[in-house]
Amino acid sequence: MGRDLKLTCFSCGVTNRLPAGKMEAGPKCGTCGARLADGRVHELDFRDMQSAIRHDGLPLLVDFWAPWCGPCRAMAPEFSKAAETLRGKVRFAKVDTQRNPDATVHYNIRGIPQLILFDRGREVARLSGARPAAQIAAFVRDHASLPA
């Protein structure tokens, strides 16, 4: 694989370029040293999410949620399991709709939890409601172009 990937660091916001074949090695940010594809769910604000959507070479699955939402809290462990399952192939993030109302308006979020999958800079699919990890992972596999 001769192509490079760009990944936005969820800790410092810097866009990193790395060889696509090095994802298994656990790449780190060249600026702050944070892991770039660690299989964890990262809390993002609207600005950082927009940057990742525009620049990242891996698909990004975003969970729009709120702390007062029971189904959102119930799905959180399942979302984390799906993130671990797809580590190195997809990045997972959460956006708190209460703290980021601009994201809610921009993406026309009518109910939560709402999962939106972004790939190559655009929205490719949505999934509403709380789901188990296996359904979340299957949703991503069905709609994203995943690296081999």
Query: Do the bridges between strand 15-19 and strand 4-8 make them parallel or antiparallel, or are there none, so unpaired?
Result: antiparallel
Summarised one tens digit per residue, pLDDT across range 94-111 is 999 999 999 999 999 999
Q: Tell me which H or E stretch contains 41.
A: strand 41-43
And the tokens for 129?
Answer: 């409601």
Catalytic position from the list 9, 29, 32, 72: 72
Q: What is the CATH number of the domain that holds 77?
A: 3.40.30.10
Q: Structurally, how many domains does the chain consist of?
A: 1
Known active-site residue 9: no
The distance in angstroms from the start CA to the end CA of the chain is 10
Look up the pTM and report it: 0.92
Nearest alpha carbon to residue 146 among 87, 63, 98? 87
Which domain range does residue 120 map to? 39-143
pLDDT the model gives residue 1: 43
* Helix axes of 70-85 and 133-143: crossing angle, nearest 10 degrees: 60
Summarised one tens digit per residue, pLDDT across range 53-100 is 999 989 999 999 999 999 999 999 999 999 999 998 999 999 999 999
